[in-house]
Amino acid sequence: MSLKFPHELKRELTASSCEVVVIERLPSGVFTDPFELQHFVQRGVFTDAAVFGDTNLELPSFRSNQTVVEIHMSIDSKVLLRDEDESEVILKVPLHARYQPLGHGFSRVEFGAPNIFTCCSSTEQDVTKKLCQPIPTSLIPEKKASPLMWEIPCGNKEHAAVVSAVTFGFAISTALLIVLTSVSYSRQ
Amino acid sequence: MAEITFRSVLLLSAVFRVVLILYGEWQDAHMAVRYTDIDYFVFSDAAALMASGKSPYERSTYRYSPLLAFLLMPNSFLHQSWGKFLFSASDLLVGLLIHRILKLRGVPEKLSTYSAMVWLFNPFTFTIGTRGNCEPIVCSMILWILICLMKDNPIQAAFWYGLVVHLRIYPIIYALPIIIILDPLCFQHSKKPALVQWSFRTSESSLDSSSAEIIGFWNFFRSLITWRRVVFGILSGTTFLILTGLSFYLYGWDFLHEALLYHLTRTDPRHNFSIYFYHIYLHYEHEFSILEKLISFLPQFTVQLILILRFAPDLPFCLFLQTVAFVAFNKVITAQYFVWFFCLLPLILPWSNMRLKWRGLACVSVWIGAQTHWLMWGYLLEFRGKNVFLQLWMASLLFLAANTFVMINVIRNHAFCPLFKPSSSKSLKDD
């Protein structure tokens, strides 16, 4: 995800201590690992991160609920102080795919646009104030583009009968081989 | 060339593990891909919660006994690597116990040392402890139980057995062969049981076939109730119940569900080495019938029963085969389960007629090759997003075939050697 800041907004942002807050509602086929996000927070990539909703990482998508992820990232003043018409800030969030409902080949998961805010702190007469405001959508290139899609491989229902038959047949055959070898083993 | 002594091997292994732990800390701090196992962070978080008076089960995916979190509490106030040092120390202890068991059975020093090296220098095993996986603790307990049995200390064996089953459920499969081995024919009054020495395997008649059959199935029923068996059963059961009861008292249903029931009922639709994963995924949207559950359990049950009935008197060999089969036929197989039988492999090597060239190498190559083949398809699915479910499932079939191939070769090339020598007296009177 990249954000572009025009001159006017940059001036405003460099005056205070600011961070970008991204709130993304993830589709049910996708999740983010809260512990992985905490690792990024510890390494200073994000200033804060949280996941709300279904945090069970092991469930397939048809047994799980949606999650919302919130990322706080400070904007480096060096980025904003660059003498360019626009400055770009890139934010990367690790996402993982859940096991999808059965289908044919791939399951398409569509991402909605995130809600993005800038939160700036300023101190006046020993009182620290924090003001958050949404970033105009015109500054987010991805919002103008077509929705983001992720094609995730899924199991094929047509395989079910063959897979079950061969799985059990194979298990029984290999078990029989071991049994026969054991029974025919001579202790001499 | 200097002779390799067990002491130097152990020292070298210890130094190597310390270096690996230090390297792991460096990699975690400087590289995107961490050296430390994800499970270690789960244990550490659970231990930190316990240290602050909370339940370790507030940490999601913590599915172990609270004892493990208790052992790792120093991670919070001493150093985050405490657990890794503890697990690596257990890993070294496994090597020591392997050597001890082989010496007790009369295996020459050089062969005992080389067998122990199969564990100590196995890349899989030395990474597992240094990455923060707790399996070496379980392995060391199982080997200690073997030593207690060999030294006719059923009380201590029972305590550790109850504890290890509380920690990890899978050693429950060893219950029946242990009960069988506590045969009164092997235990004379006020005398330690005689261990069959390694040199017996080339002897023509020191243990005749009828004696070997007596230590077995028929005699088990004839002399079922003996004080050693009763003591072992009651004490191990009591230990398990006390530890489980205490954990339940402290942490309630969270403990029961996460540490016990989850493992007993686990069916994971996500890809793993098991041949059942794709079948489970394809049928996950509906409940499995009783018949389906029974059919999937039957191969496992049958193999376990036959292995016990045929090989229980040669206890280390029986435990090894049981563990390989248990892992191979399980509904979920992850790489850490392999440690369960790696720690038993050195105990059977001195009795194997299989030469490294070329049958031994063939077994190793087939097993590693099948695993690598599976990992390749797993990589394509997980990291490249290719739809290779069918190929991955077929790779898991191949992996089961590889495990079967190895088991058959190990069985065929093994010189059967009971752990205990039956007494010359045929009396079944228990002492």
CB B141 within 8 A of CB B134: no
Distance from CA of A42 to the nearest CA of B (A): 10
Chosen for mutation from B45, B282, B332 (greatest number of chain A CBs closer than 10 Å) is B282
Query: Mean pLDDT over all residues of chain B?
Result: 89
B324 vs A: CB within 8 A:
no
What mean pLDDT comes out for the span B407-427?
83
Given B298, B385, B400, which is nearest A170 (Cβ)? B400
Question: Which of A97, A170, A178 has its CB closest to that of B325?
Answer: A178
- Residue B166, H or E segment: helix B154-167
Q: Are A105 and B387 a contacting pair at CB < 8 A?
A: yes
Name every chain A residue with its beta carbon within 8 A of the beta carbon of B325: 178
pLDDT attached to residue A80: 54
Residue A142 pLDDT > 60, yes or no? no
Interface of B with A in 280-319 (CB under 8 A): 281-285, 295-296, 298-300, 302-303, 306-307, 310-311
Q: Does B385 touch chain A (CB under 8 A)?
A: yes
Using the Cβ of B8 and the Cβ atoms of chain A, whether some distance falls under 8 Å is answered with no
Q: Is B50's pLDDT higher than 60? A: yes
Would the ipTM clear 0.85, i.e. be above it?
yes
Mean pLDDT of B168-194: 85
Whether the predicted pLDDT of B397 surpasses 50: yes
> Does residue A133 or residue B132 have the better pLDDT?
B132
Q: Answer yes or no: are the C-beta atoms of B223 and B183 closer than 8 Å.
A: yes
Residues in B touching A54 (Cβ below 8 Å) = none
> What is the per-residue pLDDT for A140?
60
* Helix ranges restricted to H, chain A: 7-15, 34-42, 77-81, 141-144, 160-184
CB B405 within 8 A of CB B363: yes
Residue B320 near residue B345, CB atoms below 8 Å: yes
Q: Which amino acid is at B136?
A: P
Nearest residue, CB atoms, A62 vs list B285, B296, B388: B285
- For residue B57, give both structure tokens: 């089960």
What pLDDT was estimated at residue B431?
A: 37
Q: Which positions in chain B touch A167 (Cβ < 8 Å)?
A: 275-276, 278-279, 393, 397
pTM of the model: 0.88
Q: How far is CA B306 from CA B101, B301, B309, B310, B348, in A?
A: 25, 9, 5, 6, 19
Q: Predicted confidence band at B180 (pLDDT cuts at 50, 70, 90)? A: very high
CB of B61 closer than 8 Å to CB of B266:
no
Give the pLDDT confidence score for residue A86 in this predicted structure: 59
**pLDDT value at B151 more than 50:** yes
Residue of A nearest to B203 (CA): A188
Give A169→chain B minimum CA distance, Å. 10
Of A58, A63, A181, nearest to B412 by CB-CB distance is A181
The helix/strand count (H/E) of chain B reads as 21, 0
Percent of chain B having pLDDT more than 70? 91
Closest residue of chain A to B34, computed from CA coordinates: A39
Q: Which of residues 83-122 of B touch A (CB under 8 A)?
A: none
Q: Hey, are the CB atoms on B282 and A153 less than 8 Å from each other?
A: no
E strands of B97-205, at which residues?
A: none
Q: If pLDDT is split at 50, 70 and 90, which confidence band does B426 have?
A: very low
**Higher-pLDDT residue of B365, A135:** B365
Q: Where are the beta strands (DSSP E) in A32-114?
A: 48-53, 67-74, 86-90, 96-97, 106-111
Tell me if B322 sits within 8 A of B403, measured CB to CB. no
- B40 part of contact set with chain A, CB < 8 Å: no
Band of residue B208 on the pLDDT scale cut at 50, 70, 90: very low
pLDDT above 80 for B223: no
- pLDDT number for residue B200: 78
Contact list in A for residue B277 (CB cut-off 8 A) is none
